[in-house]
Structure 1
Amino acid sequence: MNCGELFYCSYDKAAETLHNRTQLSEIVLSKGISKKDELIDFLREELKHAFECDVRFWLQGSYKSHTLIKPVDKFSSYDIDVGIYLFIDAEEEEVESNDVKETLKEALSSYCNINNEAKLQESKNACEGLKFTTFLTIDTPIYFKTDNNIKLATNEGWVDSDPKSIQEWLTNGYSDNSSRALMKRLVRYFKAWINVKWQGSGHKKIPSLAVNVLVAQYMQKRDREDESFIHTALSICDALESTLIVNNPLNGSNLVAMSQDSATFAHQKFDELKQVCLQCVDSSDFQRAISFSNLFQHYFPQITLNTDEGSTGLPAVVTVPEISICRFDKNGDHVENVTADKLSVTKGDSLTFTICNQNAFHVHASAHWTVRNVGVQANDANDIGHKVTGRLNENHRRETSYTGSHTMECMITYNGVVKGFKAIHVQVKPTRTLKKKRVYKGRRR
């Protein structure tokens, strides 16, 4: 597999790729769709009587554009946006947007009273919404629609907004199916990058709509998927370098409205992305894979270093870290200490990883431990992995919660340069119940 096929493999749709690892589990998505349908059925009657007008619904956002991705971890959620349309002229009838949002909030609260999986989100300027216990958030922006106007209810009043038209603009941006499919995949890659780089930062993320518009405007179609990503990213970074503005192609409004601190943080991340992509332009496949593994973290499929080939073409990988693995069973009893590239364990065991040859690296180097979970159980639990960064002398412990084949990657960096790399494959087997042998006691008389 070349690096492009680690992004997307057209001849093997079941291959472990960045594209596949961003996909939501069918079970998780089907549950979300069921909850979405259930909520719409409830709101259809509730709001029809509350507003005394025709009420209709239109899906929008990532669900509508088919660019949903798996949440960054098992504690996060994915969004389904359900647009609610009131067929009245709210401005002419002097209906306040805040009153409309408050009525919607009361309806959502009533839904929560009969569905203990849902709770109200904190109100946002442009929508209300629900947070479910099963990885799902449903946002419900509400509009009024006439023959001449579509306006969105916000805390500041009614504002022009037409998600249907922007969706049509995105859909019609490219006429051939292959370009449309590539555009959607690239959007997912950028959203995965944003998820991991903004995680825990406290800064506002680049909105999904802005990502869609940027990719549609600056997409570079190349023969290889990694080349398409690299050159699309470089074009986007250049476009945003002077100012963080993404204009709505229909009305010119800025789709990226955020505080100065959040804008500064975003500029830093785009600068980092540009540097990585520039380095990748003339790099080997493995060097690119190393860079993208660091860029996308656990979303990216596991890469391996074939030690039989030596370090040919891998000048950045100076030393392979020697890693000791201390294994405990589910009762906390010590089982073994091993140093191996592959390990078979029982579900419920815990593993502690320690770098033994710490002196081979600079004392101020960083160790990046990335867990990559693979398989149906991890996928359905929305838990494909995580990354933890620490010092070389810090141990890293992980539990074995899902049956299947998983990896622990250790990447050692100093001053932004990769100095060490190793991937350990961990096969997790289900627990077994041992049955005692039946002892033959002779034939009954």
Structure 2
Amino acid sequence: MNCADMLNNLDSSIDTLHTRTKLSEVILKKGISKKDELIEYLRAELSEAFDCRVGFWLQGSRKSHTLIKPVDKNSSYDIDVGVYLFFDAEDEGLSASEIKSTLKYALASYCEINDEPTLQDSKNACEGLKYSAFLTIDTPIYYIAHDNATPMLATDSGWVDSDPKAIQKWLTDAQDTDDKRALMKRIVRYLKAWINVKWNGTEHKKIPSLAINILVARHLKQFEREDDSFIHSTLSICEELEGFFKVENPLNGQDILTLTYEAEVFAHEKLTELKAACLEANDASELQKCLIFSRLFEHYFPQIELSAFNRISGLPVTVTVPELTINHYDKDDKHIRTLNINEVTVKKGESLTFSITNKAHFNQYCSAHWTVRNIGSQANDANDIGHKVVSSITESHQRGAAYTGSHTIECMIFNGATVVGANCIKVTVKPAFPVLRRKKIFKGFRR
């Protein structure tokens, strides 16, 4: 098991961390279509409202090609569209708050004629829309006084010198080869996936995507192996943030993080865990390293091979395989069968309940980490690559069969931070109503 290949592989058909973080083309095209529709509406509304030329420029993760799948099917991904007013707003006596309010009114008007998006709560530096499926569109608004002027961003606290085009150029120029630029983007995606799972379910503000881009650009370490590149780039980032928790905008020196005290404390805790994991992985065997990355990235990471699990050095001498009982139910929740096997085939719409039958073999304080990994185009196009649930070993885990394809459900037993057991079930989901081909009967040649 080569851990580097589980992060990234030249064969795009292989399930890797990189492929599992990338948005599907179907989802991306839908988002681009909605973005284009909104741009055309705002172009007409704002050009009339301000009597000036209005321009638009993609920025953020979409522009830097570091968009990733949301953490689960109930979350969304963001497209940032900068709105540019080509006139001197301050010279005309217009405040940043007035500009933002006008934009917000235009977005609200758009929602009145389009029932899919709703208006987001105002943010300090932008307004935006939340769509009913998968997507938010943020629309920061700027004015540019003349051709050579720096864009001025409208914020709740006034006008701010901000140039996303210049930031994007800085990020592109930070590396001197295309291979390094591609590696930088992949490591940004990996770190964003880690943030998604570790911040999921908390109220704390995430480390901003721009900060991650800048940190990786400054600390990129290129090795022959992808896992070594990630480990050493991440260690360098963690060590910098340990000493000075600040990420400066390379153009103006302003701090990009702007987290509350509580959010900063939480970020420090997670970064300390990340550093410890990378230090452990640096000296680990291939299988140990895969296990460490699987815990870091959860369902974003592809399913690791558990057949050699008992031979992992550094784990307890005795590793007990949790015996899993599977109860299979039809779409009407009628029980079909009970199984004790490592592979099961079901139809779409049916469900499975997994439970640990040899729970007495584990310490009562152990916890079960159930990780579902969905694989295939249907799950990919639904932005649902899986999830993780932590429960006691006495609790069962229920899973509906929603997407055709081959999926896995992994059960890892933890005693504190130590893995004491692991098992994995392969689940193949077939269409609910397979078409039966009827054998054609030869009736002779027509005259």
TM score, norm. by length of structure 2: 0.95
SS of residue in 2 equivalent to 1:352: strand
Partner deviation per Cα, 1:334-383 (whole Å, 9 max, x = no partner): 11111111111111111111111112222111110000001111111111
SS of residue in 1 equivalent to 2:107: helix
Residue aligning to 1:442: none
Residue aligning to 2:241: 240
What letter matches 2:294 in structure 1?
Answer: S
Q: Cα–Cα, structure 1 residues 132 and 311, in superposed 2: closer, same or farther, change >3 Å?
A: same
- Tell me the matched-pair count: 435
Residue aligning to 2:60: 61
Q: State how far apart, in whole Å, the 1-side matches of 2:154 and 2:252 are.
A: 18
Residue aligning to 2:88: 89
Residue aligning to 1:311: 311
Q: Write out aligned runs for 1:377-416 (5 A).
A: 377-416=378-417
- How far has the Cα of 1:416 moved from its partner? 0.8
Residue aligning to 1:105: 104
- How far has the Cα of 1:314 moved from its partner? 6.6
Q: Cα–Cα, structure 1 residues 92 and 348, in superposed 2: closer, same or farther, change >3 Å?
A: same
Please say if residues 286 and 314 of structure 1, whose CA atoms lie closer than 8 Å, have aligned partners that are also in contact: no
What letter matches 2:230 in structure 1?
Answer: F
- How far has the Cα of 1:148 moved from its partner? 2.9
Partner deviation per Cα, 1:365-402 (whole Å, 9 max, x = no partner): 11100000011111111111000001111111111111
What letter matches 1:73 in structure 2?
Answer: D
Q: State how far apart, in whole Å, the 2-side matches of 1:320 and 1:310 are.
A: 9
Residue aligning to 1:443: none
SS of residue in 2 equivalent to 1:241: helix
What letter matches 1:137 in structure 2?
Answer: T
Please say if residues 85 and 145 of structure 1, whose CA atoms lie closer than 8 Å, have aligned partners that are also in contact: yes
What letter matches 2:57 in structure 1?
Answer: W
Please say if residues 97 and 157 of structure 1, whose CA atoms lie closer than 8 Å, have aligned partners that are also in contact: yes
Please say if residues 143 and 153 of structure 2, whose CA atoms lie closer than 8 Å, have aligned partners that are also in contact: yes
Partner deviation per Cα, 1:210-237 (whole Å, 9 max, x = no partner): 0000000011111111111111111111
Q: State how far apart, in whole Å, the 2-side matches of 1:39 and 1:59 are.
A: 13
Please say if residues 119 and 132 of structure 1, whose CA atoms lie closer than 8 Å, have aligned partners that are also in contact: yes
Please say if residues 303 and 423 of structure 1, whose CA atoms lie closer than 8 Å, have aligned partners that are also in contact: no
* 1:349 maps to 2:328: no
Residue aligning to 2:176: 175
- How far has the Cα of 1:311 moved from its partner? 2.2
Q: Write out aligned runs for 1:13-32 (5 A).
A: 13-32=12-31
Residue aligning to 1:440: none
Q: State how far apart, in whole Å, the 1-side matches of 2:256 and 2:435 are.
A: 60
SS of residue in 1 equivalent to 2:136: strand
What letter matches 1:178 in structure 2?
Answer: D
Q: State how far apart, in whole Å, the 1-side matches of 2:226 and 2:51 are.
A: 51
Q: State how far apart, in whole Å, the 2-side matches of 1:111 and 1:215 are.
A: 37
- How far has the Cα of 1:320 moved from its partner? 1.3
What letter matches 1:74 in structure 2?
Answer: K
Q: State how far apart, in whole Å, the 1-side matches of 2:112 and 2:128 are.
A: 15
SS of residue in 2 equivalent to 1:228: helix
Residue aligning to 2:444: none
Residue aligning to 2:273: 272
Please say if residues 325 and 353 of structure 1, whose CA atoms lie closer than 8 Å, have aligned partners that are also in contact: yes
SS of residue in 1 equivalent to 2:243: coil
Q: State how far apart, in whole Å, the 2-side matches of 1:315 and 1:46 are.
A: 63
Please say if residues 315 and 418 of structure 2, whose CA atoms lie closer than 8 Å, have aligned partners that are also in contact: no
Q: State how far apart, in whole Å, the 1-side matches of 2:315 and 2:365 are.
A: 20
- How far has the Cα of 1:415 moved from its partner? 2.0
What letter matches 2:365 in structure 1?
Answer: H
Q: State how far apart, in whole Å, the 2-side matches of 1:333 and 1:268 are.
A: 45
Extract unaligned runs of 5+ from structure 2.
Answer: 439-447
TM score, norm. by length of structure 1: 0.95
What letter matches 2:156 in structure 1?
Answer: N
Which deviates further from its counterpart, 368-377 or 241-250?
Answer: 241-250
SS of residue in 2 equivalent to 1:239: helix
Residue aligning to 1:124: 123
Partner deviation per Cα, 1:156-202 (whole Å, 9 max, x = no partner): 11011111111100011112111000000000000000000000110
Residue aligning to 2:443: none
Please say if residues 66 and 184 of structure 1, whose CA atoms lie closer than 8 Å, have aligned partners that are also in contact: yes
Residue aligning to 1:80: 79
Question: Once superposed, which parts of structure 1, at least 4 consecutive aligned residues long, lie more than 4 Å away?
Answer: none
What letter matches 2:65 in structure 1?
Answer: H
Q: State how far apart, in whole Å, the 2-side matches of 1:319 and 1:262 are.
A: 38
- How far has the Cα of 1:92 moved from its partner? 1.9
Q: State how far apart, in whole Å, the 1-side matches of 2:236 and 2:32 are.
A: 35
Please say if residues 366 and 392 of structure 1, whose CA atoms lie closer than 8 Å, have aligned partners that are also in contact: yes
- How far has the Cα of 1:432 moved from its partner? 2.5
Q: State how far apart, in whole Å, the 2-side matches of 1:200 and 1:315 are.
A: 30
Partner deviation per Cα, 1:263-317 (whole Å, 9 max, x = no partner): 000000000001111111111111111111111011000112125x852547357
- How far has the Cα of 1:434 moved from its partner? 8.7
Q: State how far apart, in whole Å, the 2-side matches of 1:176 and 1:433 are.
A: 50
Q: Write out aligned runs for 1:281-360 (5 A).
A: 281-306=282-307, 311=311, 313=313, 315-316=315-316, 318-360=319-361
RMSD: 1.6
Partner deviation per Cα, 1:76-113 (whole Å, 9 max, x = no partner): 11000000111111222221111100110111111111
Residue aligning to 2:445: none
SS of residue in 1 equivalent to 2:36: helix
Residue aligning to 1:441: none
